Structure 1
Amino acid sequence: MTTALFTAPRTLLQMIATGAVFVSGFSANALPSTASPLTVSPAQDATDLFFADYTWCDAKMLGEFWGEGPGNAKVSAGKLLQDGDYQTVETKLTAARDYYGGQGLCNFTDEGFSYDDMVVVAEYWDISVTEAKTAIANKLEWGLPGVAHDIVEMAYTEQSHYDPAAIVETIAFENLNRDGHTLGYFVQRADGLWVELTAAGEEIFYFNEIERDPLVVTLFDASRNMEIHLDYHFNQIQYRYSSDQGAPKPLYAMGF
């Protein structure tokens, strides 16, 4: 008796490969190969791990401390982090900040800030743009990038509510005999400029505030080379030209 051998069904690919099945336009040699997995270099792994918790400014600080460039420093620190040695990175970075903090090693651009950001911060703090750049860079050097971002955010928030023409203070004035007839106003705007207005609200003269104490605010009109003294003690508005040697003279009575 002849025993029939049972042959398991072949897969479609096996059948194609052996020629048992012909598919028009299809070649077994054209079968897609399994793609190789995407590999990431150890250095890239270390860099990604470093930037998960630290900044480019931190890399600069560590590089200066270790005597290497920031590019190498971030990899060196990242490898320590890969080994779980966070303590060494923190210790070295703390030492670097203590030694180099405030020395201008970092720049405001290290955290992605722009020059326009620094202009807004300067206006917010009433300092120069150079001082704003330095202040933000110092925050980065001391490991406070979050604080730096908060400052910039607050500066923009303040700017959105800022109206340079808004009135901060208004002082009405009248004749020295106080007849109750308002002649005009001195107003201080939010940008610090003082303006003299007529009773109808027309702007006629502009002043910079040059001095202030609890009793007197001194203004200066460069166009007339003249000082105006808002004297809260005598409730008077006084004037004096720069060429005058004596005390300022009464001009108006304050009406408030």
Structure 2
Amino acid sequence: MRLSALTVLLVLASLGVAGCLKKTGPKPAAEGAQELSWKDPAQEQAWLNAYHNSRFGFCDARMLADLWQHSVEDAQARVGMKLKAGVEDWQIDKWFIDPAREKAIANGLYCDPFDEGYKLSDVEALAQAWGIGVSDAKLVLSEKLVYGGRELADYAVQDAWMSTDGAYYDGEYDEGMEDEGYLAEAFWQSALTYCDARLLAEWWGVDPWDAKVALGQKVTNGFSLDEIERDVMGPAREHARKRGEVCAIWEGDVSYEDADALACFWGTTLEDAKVRIGQKLTNGDKDILDRVLSQARSACP
């Protein structure tokens, strides 16, 4: 006996297998599979702009990059896509930033405050307010960026400036602090760098703050930079060269983005560029470095 197609389908339906004959189309991606829609080149710049216009910073992106195994820029684009799609800040925090923060803390990952836009003067104010060295203050500020984000770091910096502007140090009033603050400001307004102050401090065996005040005194007394270089910084640089001392890029107020542009301009790796920058800072060639950096920013935007 021949059965019609309709009869066959009715029999299969009664057995609960008719659905197996349907075309199901492509299977959805497995749960947890990598989301790649944010890689769309046509919209990537818009997503990056969305990220940069948000309250999230470079440190957040760096932690996410570590969590997702992306580049920092890809992490920014991925979050920017979600922001453009209407995902709110608190949701980004809860779903992405918090897990990234936990991993960063567990792995001992710290963010560079200068990548977040903080200045050497901010770190110096923290060091003065907390009674610790500048390098230690930079490390603590890095920890605050990881543990509590930009808000916690901003609060610490603002509090430090309030205490130092009032001429207080470790909670005790110092009548000489106002004069020292004036001389330190003269130092910062000059073309000298923290690298210069630290090298001089090591040569004289004093604290970097004292070296900075002494250099500020030279500036206010009318000494030219050439005279300061010849009479004061020259011996300090020679001492540093004999010891193989090289300044870090942040000690010359050079950012990660600046180093990256110089690496592109020089045709070297980022690490090699950092060493080269450090050598120029140590040798007192900040003016030359600034001119090259201007060219690099134009050639490698």
State the TM bucket, normalised to the shorter chain: 0.3 to 0.5
More helix by share: 2
More strand by share: 1
Higher RCO (CA-CA < 8 Å; seq separation 6+): 2
TM-score, normalising length from structure 2? 0.39
